[in-house]
């Protein structure tokens, strides 16, 4: 996670004495008026940023998106089956975990031919494992941005809305790109996201749920994991992760000051365009194999001609101050993450480093020695 400098500075300034009350925000009771003001302000700003309709509840929970992988089927299956779309590692995990709770069905498996989820648009019935949708499903689950594979759903999202049975609520894991651009919340039954990409430090999980999906939870589900109970208790059935919610409140305020989600989308488009241009313009030195229409604006995975060069790349980058560029262990390579808090200059600096690195190592003939023709 990267946090906006201004947010960190405010948190630092008021860490020992929040708004003159003589105590840290970490020390005060979550039931007292000060913290309830913080959580209410966080919700109000989030509702404004995402234009969340009134018939949706906003919950600030714990356990990360991974706990949601279980909690969603616990609450929504109610003895029925759910459809899952796999577009990468995270949606695959969500599918596997849900299978321990109840009946789930693989509706579309784009993972085998990653990242070609574009087939969905025109040819849904023939895509992947089954590619047909169950119009009696409790819900249809998808992950709208896959961090490891760098696949973001744009047009396909529209396609899903056209192709999926209208009565089946869409459930979306937006952990890694929520708040990076405007979305139409009303198209979804449930949206969830771990905080630690665009919301704030880890420890808080956001759930936005349409009210008609509440109240169908079987009695054997623990109250803490029941969305209805959490909604009835304003996300405070037990002590919430107060500091993470406070930080989220600062991030939401910062986003509003940036001009909201349309403004941040413009910057995110510029940032990712810079990096993809550096890749595509490198004469094959850098390579990203994701179809252009679903290239993620948040996570840009790419490869270099050899694993040795990749190691050299992220090690040199680390020394130059670009942290966390090593790709996920399951796929290797390099991954640049361009979350909201990374300013345009940060992306530009990375691109300068990439160009310089390519110039130095292309000149040395390393590409020719391993991949003779391009």
Which position among 122, 321, 368, 374 is part of the footprint of its own copies (CB under 8 A)? Answer: 321
Would you count residue 26 as binding its own copies (CB under 8 A)? yes
Q: Is 356 a catalytic residue?
A: no
Cα-based distances in Å from 217 to 4, 254, 289, 293, 298: 38, 36, 42, 38, 34
- Rounded Cα–Cα distance for residues 366 and 374 (Å): 13
Across 246-256, b (16+ Cβ under 10 Å) vs e yields bbbbbbbbbbe
Would you count residue 23 as binding its own copies (CB under 8 A)? yes
- Rounded Cα–Cα distance for residues 293 and 87 (Å): 14
CB of 319 to its own copies, least distance (A): 12
Q: Which stretch binds its own copies (CB under 8 A): 17-25, 128-136, 269-277, 298-306?
A: 17-25
Would you count residue 203 as binding its own copies (CB under 8 A)? yes
Which position among 18, 60, 69, 286 is part of the footprint of its own copies (CB under 8 A)? Answer: 69
Would you count residue 29 as binding its own copies (CB under 8 A)? yes
Interface residues for its own copies in 76-135 (CB under 8 A)?
Answer: 97, 100-101
The count of C-alpha atoms lying within 13 angstroms of the C-alpha of 141, restricted to the half-sphere facing its C-beta, is: 30
Q: Is 45 a catalytic residue?
A: no
Would you count residue 241 as binding its own copies (CB under 8 A)? yes
Q: Which stretch binds its own copies (CB under 8 A): 216-224, 284-292, 299-307, 365-373?
A: 216-224
C-beta separation of 337 from 298 below 8 A:
yes
Interface residues for its own copies in 336-355 (CB under 8 A)?
Answer: none
- The residues, any chain, with a CB within 8 Å of residue 12's CB and separated by 6 or more, are none
Would you count residue 229 as binding its own copies (CB under 8 A)? no
C-beta separation of 124 from 68 below 8 A:
no
Q: Is 90 a catalytic residue?
A: yes
Would you count residue 22 as binding its own copies (CB under 8 A)? yes
Alpha helices in the chain (DSSP H): 5-13, 33-50, 64-76, 89-98, 119-123, 155-163, 227-232, 242-258, 260-280, 307-319, 344-363, 366-370
Would you count residue 167 as binding its own copies (CB under 8 A)? no
Residue 191's H or E segment, with its range, is strand 190-194
| Catalytic residue ranges | 90, 173, 197
Binding residues vs its own copies (CB under 8 A): 1-3, 5, 8-9, 11-12, 15-16, 21-24, 26-30, 32, 62-67, 69-70, 97, 100-101, 194, 196, 200-204, 219-225, 237-244, 247, 321, 323-324
């Amino acid at each position: 996670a990267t946090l906006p400098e201004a947010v960190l500075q405010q948190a630092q300034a008021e860490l020992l004495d929040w708004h003159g009350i003589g105590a840290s925000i970490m020390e005060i009771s979550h039931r007292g008026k000060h913290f309830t003001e913080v959580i209410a302000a966080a919700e109000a700003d989030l509702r404004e940023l995402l234009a969340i309709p009134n018939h949706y509840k906003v919950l600030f929970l714990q356990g990360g998106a991974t706990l949601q992988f279980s909690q969603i089927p616990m609450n929504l299956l109610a003895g029925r089956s759910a459809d899952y779309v796999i577009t990468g590692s995270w949606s695959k995990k969500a599918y596997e975990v849900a299978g321990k709770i109840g009946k789930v069905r693989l509706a579309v498996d784009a993972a085998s031919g990653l990242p070609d989820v574009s087939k969905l648009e025109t040819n849904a019935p023939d895509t992947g494992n089954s590619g047909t949708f169950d119009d009696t499903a409790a819900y249809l689950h998808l992950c709208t941005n896959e961090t490891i594979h760098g696949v973001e759903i744009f047009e396909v999202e529209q396609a899903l809305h056209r192709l999926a049975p209208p009565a089946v609520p869409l459930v979306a894991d937006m952990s890694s790109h929520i708040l990076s651009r405007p979305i139409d919340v009303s198209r979804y039954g449930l949206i969830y996201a771990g905080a630690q990409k665009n919301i704030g430090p880890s420890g808080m999980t956001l759930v936005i749920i349409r009210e008609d999906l509440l109240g169908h939870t079987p009695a054997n589900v623990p109250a803490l994991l029941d969305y209805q109970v959490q909604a009835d208790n304003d996300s405070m059935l037990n002590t919430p992760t107060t500091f993470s919610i406070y930080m989220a409140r600062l991030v939401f305020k910062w986003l509003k000051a940036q001009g909201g989600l349309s403004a941040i989308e413009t910057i995110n488009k510029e940032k990712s365009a810079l990096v993809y241009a550096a890749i595509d313009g490198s004469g094959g030195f850098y390579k990203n194999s994701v179809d252009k229409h679903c290239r993620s604006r948040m996570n840009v995975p790419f490869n270099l001609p050899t694993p040795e060069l990749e190691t050299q790349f992220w090690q040199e980058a680390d020394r130059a101050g670009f942290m966390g560029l090593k790709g996920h262990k399951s796929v290797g390579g390099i991954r640049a993450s361009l979350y909201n808090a990374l300013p345009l200059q940060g992306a530009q600096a990375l691109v300068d480093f990439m160009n310089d690195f390519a110039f130095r190592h292309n000149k040395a003939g390393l590409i020719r020695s391993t991949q003779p023709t391009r």
